[in-house]
Amino acid sequence: MSVNVNTVYQRVLAIANKEQRGYITPQEFNLFANQAQMDIFEQYFYDINQFNRAPGNDTEYSNMLDLLNEKIAIFQKYLQDVSMSGSIGTIPADVYRLGAVQYVGDTYPIEIDEVRLNDVIDLEKSPLTRATTSRPYYIRLTKTTIKIYPSTLANSSSIVCNYVDKPTTASFDYIVVNGEPLYNSTNSVDFELHESEETELVLKILALAGVSIEDPQLYQIATGEEVKKLQQEKV
């Protein structure tokens, strides 16, 4: 699932032209496009948090939560290797939210719990709470590094993690034909968001570009046959 970057670009241009707000260059579009994509992406987690706080299990809320989880699933990575150097582990650089960290032992995976740095000294004082190979834990040092206790688990092939990664940077690439930018599909990168986010992307990009949408009919300008007509005229 993805959203075609050229489709969004043509819709944005069509509405901006209708509003007589001037030309949005490809460079401006790419800047606004990635800001819009991140805004939509980060809103998922805020919305899920709000739904989880809501009382009851209303069917409508449940369906909306299912859709949010479906949208986030695009970015979920499972059982990714954690590169170990001693007791320090490096997780993939594209991590947005770290999920479960596991030690893949000889028999079955053991989940490694996260603890706060301030708690480590107290935990290590007692044999009842001290980290062991059957009851390990880790602390987060930076966004992409963790420290695992006990250090005997520091085996580069045995520590894995699940995480949510960040959206790939979208890019409208083009060649210039008769002084006009013509879409270059080979080097362009589509939005990584769920296909249902196309209109929301258009709205957010227009807002970032300073275009205010008040007339609902403006949406129709950049959809269906109008987009096809614009694309055909540029070929």
Mean pLDDT of 203-217: 73
Place of tokens 């986030």: 72
Task: Please say whether the beta carbons of 136 and 110 come within 8 A.
Answer: yes
**Do 154 and 89 fall into the same domain?**
yes
Whole-angstrom distance, CA of residue 156 vs CA of residue 145 = 14
**Per-residue pLDDT at 36:** 97
Q: Per the structure, how many domains does the chain have?
A: 2
pLDDT tens figures, 61-73: 678 888 899 999 9
Q: Quick one: 67 and 95 in the same domain?
A: no
Are 185 and 218 in a shared domain? yes
Q: Are 226 and 234 in contact (CB under 8 A)?
A: no
Percent of the chain with pLDDT over 70: 83
- How far apart are alpha carbons 151 and 120 in whole angstroms? 14
- Nearest to 176, CA basis, from 22, 75, 25, 60: 25
Answer for the pair 16, 22: CB distance below 8 angstroms, yes or no: yes
Tokens of 224: 């269906």
Phi-psi region of 24 (alpha: psi -120 to 50; beta: other; left: phi over 0): beta
pLDDT at 135 over 60: yes
Domain containing residue 138: 78-165
Pairing relationship of beta strands 83-85 and 109-114 according to DSSP bridges: unpaired
Supply the pLDDT for residue 104.
87
Residues 154 and 171 in one domain: no
Average pLDDT rounded to a whole number, residues 53-59: 65
Do 174 and 161 share a domain, yes or no?
A: no
**Token duo for residue 17:** 């032209």
Distance CA 15, CA 205 (A): 11
Do 105 and 65 lie in one domain? The reply is: no
- Point out the domain boundary residue: 165, 190, 213: 165
How does pLDDT run across 215-230, given as a tens digit for each residue?
555 545 544 444 444 4
Higher pLDDT, 142 or 66: 142
* 133 shares its domain with 171: no
Let me know whether 181 and 195 are in one domain.
yes
Whether residues 65 and 172 share a domain: the answer is yes
Rounded to whole angstroms, the Cα distance separating 233 from 90 reads: 50
Question: Residue 150 in 3-state DSSP?
Answer: coil
11 by DSSP, 3-state: which?
A: helix
CB of 5 closer than 8 Å to CB of 172: yes
- Residues 68, 82: one domain? no
Tens of pLDDT along 182-198?
999 999 999 999 999 99
Q: Are residues 52 and 96 in the same domain?
A: no
Q: What is the model's pLDDT at position 152?
A: 83
- Predicted pLDDT at 189: 98
pLDDT at position 222: 44
Among residues 165, 195, 226, which one ends one of the domains? Answer: 165
Same structural domain, 58 and 131: no
Name the domain boundary from 132, 150, 165. 165
